[in-house]
Structure formats: structure tokens, C-alpha cells
């Protein structure tokens, strides 16, 4: 009688398996889940199915999105939503294996406009990683994923990013632009920059070296704020500068992002306080290693 062998974490999963090893199964002890090799990827199984029974209930829900009637329902559909836990934008069962290259990251917002991000050049493709329940895409400084269609941010918008810089990273936040400073918000040389591209705060250096949550908001009066860990504003500025979102990873002006991106959500409007706090709750529940997020008020 054969038995299923144990491995400790995702880092211990065997590598170099081919199609001849299809069906190899392990019990991953840190998650308590079965992992099965399908010939090209490791698939995780929860109890009697491949999808955790609580997965859908714990997703961010909104009109026309992948999920509705969830524990985290908001009133405003995003313009685009990139979630490394659902890399193709439609089915978490299709996620690639740990350490594989990413040629496409699908938008899960449900909008009619295609904002899927792709990269056909192998050397410029980022890498997919799995750390327990958390999935992320790592950019090495020269990687980028370009949107199928660019999006010009309107007079009022909200952007939330869950990201992690790695040691000695030169850039933090990952929204590449094709005008002006190239980023909605970013950090360079230990200085935090706002939407105008001018240095406005040096409290937060670029090397956090741990998962963080950031918001950028602008209301209809062009009041722009950057927040770290929820409702903790680190920058306030008034600007009417226009930005067009073009990619994840590398900007047109030569600034590159190095680090891990877990999730990016963009709204073309000013979210209500209730919706912001629901998003906070969703992210806090999803990413156990995030610092405590402060409520917006």
C-alpha cells in the first residue's frame, strides 16, 4: 500500500518534474493541503475540492466582478483589479507553479474593457511565487507587464497596492505611466514622491523589506493623498496633473520597480469611507503578514 509523503512548506516542493510524474501527491504540512503535480504545475486541494470552501466568501465583491454576496462587498466596481491569487483574472485553479515565469496577469474586475497585462519577451517576464496562502509576482528591475489598453486616471480616483520591496530596491510602487513622473506614487533614493514627481516627504524610505499596503487618492477638488497601512496619510498635495496607467513594473522614464506585487486595485472615482474600510478588512483578512491597517474616517 502506498502512502502520501509529507513536505514542510511550498519551498520544499520538488522541482524539475515533467509530464511523466503527473499525479505525484504530497501533504504540505504548513497548510494541511494536498498538492498534486499535473505535469506542469502544482495544484492545491482543499478537503474534497480544489477551491477552499471559504475562498469565494472571503473575496472582494462588487457588481459585475468575479464574486458577489461575499463577506467584503463594496458599492463601486474597480476599473481594474490585479490579484496574484487569481493570476488569469478568472479562476484561481489556473495559477502557475511556484517559481515560474509570468507572461500574463489577468484583470479580474469584470469590466468590458480589456486591461489584461502581458509580456511576450521572456527576459522581461516577472516570476510567480507562493508563500503559504499568499501569492505574489516578483519584478527584478527590468520586468514589466503591459496593459492591453491604457487608462487615464480621472479627476477623482483611488488606487490601492499591496507590495513588498526587497533589499536595496530602488523603486517601490508599481504603476507605470506614460506621462510626467511616470508613477502615481513612488520612492527613490530614500525619498517619497507624490503625483507631481516632486519630493514632498522623506519619512518613508524605499526599502520596507516586508509586505505593505498603500493607497493613493484624489478627490474632485484635486486633493491628492498617499496613505500607508490604511488611513495613515503620509503625503497631502493638491494637483491636477494627468496620469495614464500603462503597465505594471517598469515606467517609460527609466525608473524600474524591484520587488513583489500581491494586488493592485484602481477605481475611477472617490470611494466612500465605508468602501475603503471594507477593502482594508478584505486585505487584512487575506494577507496575514500585513501590518495592522488603520480605518479611514
pLDDT at 216: 83
- Any residues with CB less than 8 A from the CB of 198 and at least 6 apart, and which? none
pLDDT at 213: 86
Domain boundaries along the sequence of the chain: 5-45, 56-286
Residues across the chain: 297
pLDDT at 282: 97
Chain position carrying cell 468575479:
66
Neighbours of 32 (CB within 10 A): 9
Strands of 25-28's sheet in order across: 5-7, 25-28, 33-37, 42-45
Cβ-contact 52, 46 below 8 angstroms: yes
Query: Which among 132, 203, 146 has a CA at the least distance from the CA of 174?
Result: 146
Query: Mean pLDDT, 10 residues at a time, over the chain (297 residues)?
Result: 79 87 87 81 65 82 92 96 96 90 97 95 95 88 87 88 66 43 42 43 50 85 82 74 75 63 93 96 94 92
pTM of the model: 0.77
Dihedral, CA of residue 52, residue 53, residue 56 and residue 59, to nearest 10: -60
Write out the three cell numbers for 32.
494541511
Enter the CATH code of domain 56-286. Answer: 2.60.120
Amino acid at each position: 500500500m502506498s502512502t502520501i509523503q509529507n513536505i514542510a512548506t511550498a519551498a520544499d516542493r520538488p522541482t524539475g518534474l515533467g509530464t511523466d510524474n503527473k499525479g505525484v501527491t504530497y501533504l504540505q504540512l504548513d497548510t494541511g493541503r494536498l498538492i498534486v503535480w499535473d505535469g506542469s504545475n502544482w495544484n492545491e486541494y482543499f478537503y474534497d475540492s480544489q477551491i477552499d470552501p471559504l475562498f469565494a466568501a472571503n473575496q472582494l465583491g462588487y457588481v459585475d466582478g468575479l464574486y458577489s454576496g461575499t463577506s467584503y462587498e463594496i458599492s463601486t466596481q474597480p476599473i481594474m483589479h490585479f490579484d496574484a491569487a487569481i493570476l488569469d483574472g478568472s479562476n484561481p485553479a489556473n495559477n502557475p507553479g511556484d517559481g515560474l515565469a509570468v507572461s500574463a496577469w489577468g484583470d479580474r474586475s469584470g469590466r468590458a474593457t480589456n486591461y489584461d497585462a502581458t509580456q511576450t519577451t521572456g527576459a522581461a517576464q516577472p516570476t510567480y511565487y507562493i508563500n503559504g496562502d499568499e501569492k505574489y509576482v516578483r519584478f527584478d528591475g527590468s520586468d514589466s507587464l503591459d496593459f492591453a489598453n491604457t487608462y487615464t486616471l480621472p479627476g477623482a480616483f483611488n488606487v490601492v497596492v499591496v507590495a513588498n520591496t526587497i533589499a536595496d530596491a530602488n523603486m517601490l510602487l508599481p504603476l507605470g505611466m506614460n506621462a510626467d513622473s511616470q508613477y502615481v506614487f513612488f520612492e527613490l533614493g530614500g525619498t517619497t514622491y507624490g503625483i507631481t514627481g516632486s519630493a514632498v516627504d522623506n519619512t518613508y524610505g524605499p526599502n520596507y523589506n516586508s509586505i505593505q499596503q498603500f493607497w493613493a487618492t484624489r478627490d474632485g477638488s484635486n486633493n491628492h493623498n498617499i496613505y500607508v497601512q490604511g488611513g495613515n496619510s503620509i503625503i497631502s498635495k493638491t494637483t491636477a496633473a494627468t496620469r495614464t496607467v500603462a503597465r505594471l513594473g517598469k515606467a517609460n522614464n527609466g525608473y524600474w520597480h524591484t520587488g513583489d506585487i500581491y494586488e493592485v486595485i484602481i477605481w475611477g472615482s472617490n470611494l466612500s469611507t465605508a468602501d475603503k474600510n471594507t477593502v482594508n478588512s478584505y486585505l487584512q483578512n487575506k494577507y496575514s503578514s500585513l501590518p495592522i491597517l488603520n480605518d479611514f474616517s
